[in-house]
Amino acid sequence: MSQTLQVDVHHITRVEGHGNIVVDVRKGKLVKCDLEIVEAPRFFEAMLLGQPYDQASHLTSRICGICAVTHATTSLRAVEKALGVEPSEQTKRLRKLNLFGEILDSHILHVCMLVAPDLLGVESVISLAKTDILVVERALRMKKVAGDLCGVIGGRHTHPITMTVGGFTHFPSAEALESLCERLEAMRTDLDDTVELIQSCQLPAFERETEFIALHEEGEYCFIDGEITSTEGGLWPLEEYRSITNEHMVDHSTAKHARHQRQSFMVGALARYKLNNDKLHPKAQAAATALGLTPDCVNPYMISVAQVVEIVHCTEGAIDLIQQILDQGIVSEDPAPALRSSGEGVGACEAPRGTLYHHYEIQDGLVSAANCVIPTAQNLANIEADMRTLVPQQLDCTQEEMTMSLEMLVRAYDPCISCSAHMINVKCI
């Protein structure tokens, strides 16, 4: 057994944003085990102050290019709740469709291009293109459909243009939606092949009990609004998010850590699956069974598997939504009006990586206080707790093996460091 071991991964690759892993084992004792967030802080909450309410979603979408639609949608919901705006059914469907596009895009990128190289034993998607071009081509093909879906609804792949307070400024044509629907249906073979690929891969068998948190809604695998629920039991209105996320600062990171009923908790695809699996599309249920994912799973490496299940769910969900929208006929409606110019509201959505909250106070049309809680910030404490359990179990490993399993662990969470770094707020509103 190695008594002394140091891991220092400077700027973990194949994750979004900059982070370091630092582990120090001396004489068989773990003295340091940190995931350092070194991304430059960007101060979005302070930048929101004084913004006209209808500009907030355009600003916050720029928190993260990969979760832009989720940030925009969450921001719009916070404003709408503050000002008493009631969006139409069509608006709700179009938003959900756009969000499905983003979840698909992000999950496909993560599973097929960032995680798959680890599972297939190559250094990156660039090397994968040399050893297994079909896997890369398939991923690109699916990713293109997802990006184009966002483009049709939002006006472009990232940073949606058309989404506004109360509705949309532009509507997709029936033809554009029909052609999208055909492409999504044609994607099913690629989905089957992706499930098969992941089925053939061996994921590390690491387990640790923890708390899992996600949004919850009756009769629906919830992505927008709803209430907050936990594997420890309980149901909370969104307005009580602070008692759940319970953020606190730690010295080594620009992102805040969160704890709820245990020392840490997990949000994201695995948490959603565990809490809402009974509401998955039947085809997604079948994928979960094929992949051996069960609701009692507590292996963080299985997050990638839960993402594959959600890729199936969101593809089928998008097809169903497009059908519903087309059946109703697309109406070029004006955005729903604001009933007042001051108020306070909390918006919440499930981003690809977990629950995202925006909380605004608006005074005379301008944002006067803002707090945003980002999924990765909620996961950080849990990632570190996993690392602290994992390292002592692997003291026989070489430094390279240890580095590899820690990097894979961090990557499994799909951390969005751009998103989380600056999104820390200790100010109460």
Of 212 and 360, nearer to other proteins (C-beta) is: 360
Of 1 and 426, nearer to other proteins (C-beta) is: 426
Of 16 and 34, nearer to Ni ion (C-beta) is: 16
Q: Does 419 bind Ni ion (CB under 5 A)?
A: yes
Judged by CB under 8 A, the stretch of 58-66, 189-197, 237-245, 338-346 that binds other proteins is 58-66
Site string for Ni ion, 32-71 (x = CB under 5 A): --------------------------------x-xx----
Query: How many CA atoms are closer than 13 Å to the CA of 235, on its beta-carbon side?
Result: 6
Tokens of 21: 């892993």
Judged by CB under 8 A, the stretch of 160-168, 257-265, 350-358, 395-403 that binds other proteins is 160-168
Residues 77-136 that bind other proteins (CB under 8 A): 113-114, 117, 123-127
CA–CA–CA angle 43, 408, 353 (5° rounding): 45
Residue 355 site contact among ligand SF4, Ni ion, other proteins, none (CB < 5 to 8 Å, cut-off depends on kind): none
Binding residues vs ligand SF4 (CB under 6 A): 62, 65
Judged by CB under 8 A, the stretch of 10-18, 24-32, 214-222, 391-399 that binds other proteins is 10-18
Tokens of 303: 């997050």
- Alpha-carbon torsion 10, 250, 419, 387, what sign? positive
Shortest separation between residue 418's beta carbon and Ni ion, angstroms: 6
Residue 294 in 3-state DSSP?
coil
Tokens of 118: 């680890």
Q: Does 326 bind other proteins (CB under 8 A)?
A: no
Q: Does 426 bind other proteins (CB under 8 A)?
A: yes
Q: Which residue is nearest to ligand SF4 (CB)?
A: 62
Shortest separation between residue 156's beta carbon and ligand SF4, angstroms: 8
What does residue 411 show for φ and ψ, rounded to 5 degrees? -65, -35
- Which residue type, as a one-letter code, is found at position 21? I
From CA 308, how far away is CA 378, in angstroms rounded?
22
Residues 198-257 that bind other proteins (CB under 8 A): 249, 251, 254
Shortest separation between residue 425's beta carbon and ligand SF4, angstroms: 20
Which of 32, 14, 45, 142 has the alpha carbon at shortest distance from 368?
A: 45
CB 44 within 8 A of CB 367: no
CA–CA–CA angle 300, 208, 225 (5° rounding): 55
Alpha carbon separation from 257 to 24, 223, 265 (Å, rounded): 21, 23, 10
Tokens of 152: 């049709």
Shortest separation between residue 98's beta carbon and Ni ion, angstroms: 16
Judged by CB under 8 A, the stretch of 37-45, 76-84, 210-218, 281-289 that binds other proteins is 37-45
CB 300 within 8 A of CB 270: yes
From CA 29, how far away is CA 391, in angstroms rounded?
10
Shortest separation between residue 278's beta carbon and ligand SF4, angstroms: 38
Residues 404-423 that bind other proteins (CB under 8 A): 418, 422
Shortest separation between residue 175's beta carbon and ligand SF4, angstroms: 25
From CA 95, how far away is CA 101, in angstroms rounded?
10
Residue 49 site contact among ligand SF4, other proteins, Ni ion, none (CB < 5 to 8 Å, cut-off depends on kind): other proteins
From CA 311, how far away is CA 317, in angstroms rounded?
10
From CA 226, how far away is CA 11, in angstroms rounded?
36
Of 166 and 354, nearer to Ni ion (C-beta) is: 354
Selected binder of other proteins within 5, 17, 21, 359 (CB under 8 A): 17
Sequence length of the chain is: 429
Of 298 and 330, nearer to other proteins (C-beta) is: 330
What is the 3-state secondary structure of 198-260? HHCCCCCCCCCCCEEEEEEECCECCCECCEEEECCCCEECHHHHHHHHCEECCCCECCCEECC
Residue numbers at the binding site for other proteins (CB under 8 A): 11, 13-18, 39-43, 45-47, 49-52, 55, 58-59, 62-66, 68, 113-114, 117, 123-127, 140, 143-144, 147, 155-159, 161-162, 164, 169-170, 249, 251, 254, 366, 418, 422, 424-427
Residue numbers at the binding site for Ni ion (CB under 5 A): 64, 66-67, 416, 419
